[in-house]
Amino acid sequence: MGQRPMGFGPDDPDDEQPSRAGQPDPMAEVFARLLGPGGAEELAKALGAAGAGPIDPQQLTAMIGQVQHLLSTPGDGGPVNWQLTHDVARQAVAQEGDRSVGAAEQRGVVEAVRLAQVWLEERTTLPATATGALAWSRAEWVEGTLPVWKRLVEPVASSVSSAMLSAMARQMPPDLVTMLGPAEQMMSQVGGSVFGLQLGQAIGALAGEVVSGTEVGLPLVPDGAVVLLPANIAAFGAGLDVATDEVRLYLALRETARARLFGHVPWLGPYLLGAVEAYARGIVIDTDRIEAAVRGADPTDPAAIQQLLGEGLFEPEDTPTQTAALERLETALALVEGWVDVVVTAAAAQLPHADALRETVRRRRATGGPAEHTFAALIGLQLRPRRAREAAALWALIEQAGGISARDGVWAHPDLMPGTQDLDDPLGYAQRREQRERGDVDVDAAIAALLQDRPDPGSQE
């Protein structure tokens, strides 16, 4: 069976948590039957009868033991075992190498953010945030962003868990269902643990790539916080032939601008998170595809379900609702990225390698960015701001027509935000905005709506 996969439970048996006193534990009953005399042989026969082929009872016993380890990390009974997610993410970070931020790195981040705030003063009307600069290790990024990941992932995890349990139950032969008895709680916990394991590995990998707290375009850190990861900034600048101080300052400008945006546009963060939640809640799972995958999975491999999660098995079906939700989300992400690009390009003009750094960031986002693979594998959600260049052009045009205050004033209310059609026709949006500010469009639209809703005086009801 090989070594136990990372995160499948505590290394010390003393760390395992007992069941609640006085309450029956159906999982313990199931494992007692499976691990007791003849239990593995009986299960192997049942699986063989279901078409799984010959199975070695000893391997099956080892697999059951690994599942038991997986379940030994206590959860709260929800669709994701968040304790396991936390533990696996921290393990992944530690295995890749992580260290506490040194005093010199902390000072470098504080100075870069201080200078970035000064440079941004004349480039945006949004004021500086009250929160100071934070230099995080990769482990600190995991800890600091996990609360928001919970909000983002819970809706889709519920859908995935229900679909998986339904598909697995339909694939079980009657003899196996009878033998397992009331094991639905165990199966649900297995699903939550597997999802937690996969998510923990993804967040751990993400922590090794992001250079700042909100690089993914979502407000994963507290409002107004300016978070930089010195270790990842060093990796970002490797091979660019640009001084570390300049790379850090450029990335500090981007993160500081984004912090101002999220900190002083109160509706923006909830709007983005709400869009992701709405997208996740509307996911329709193809249960036939899950059943086919479950039928073809190797039941003796404890990582089989984990692999299914990583292969995009639960990607949503294309529906008009999903398409519209994704379009709104992609447009909002592009507008955030485009605004940051315009503001930082102006603020960083005095940096010797500003153009090269800007293009490096653009390529990084265009080729997928650090967050895309995380969401694509788990819920099929692409976070790539594919239209960031068009959004930047639109913001630049608005600024040319009305100045910085007009550009930043668009963030005053979500109803003022450009849509997909405005990215296609930025000049038209600027003209419509100018007309709206004069009141022409609002009056004409109100009169037209009134006449349209009013019945014809000559008609007879």
Overall average pLDDT of the 358-370 stretch: 79
pLDDT at 339: 97
CB 310 within 8 A of CB 377: yes
pLDDT at 197: 81
Tokens, residue 89: 């993410």
In this predicted model, what pLDDT tens digit does every residue of 86-133 receive, in sequence order? 999 999 899 888 889 999 999 999 999 999 999 999 999 999 987 789
* pTM exceeds 0.75 for this model: no
Tokens, residue 135: 């230099």
Other CB atoms closer than 10 Å to residue 201's CB: what's the count?
A: 23
> Is a pLDDT exceeding 90 seen at residue 451?
no
Other CB atoms closer than 10 Å to residue 24's CB: what's the count?
A: 10
* 197 dihedral zone (left: phi>0; alpha: psi -120 to 50; beta): alpha
User: What's the chain's average pLDDT?
Assistant: 74
> Is a pLDDT exceeding 90 seen at residue 455?
no
Specify the DSSP class assigned to residue 157.
H
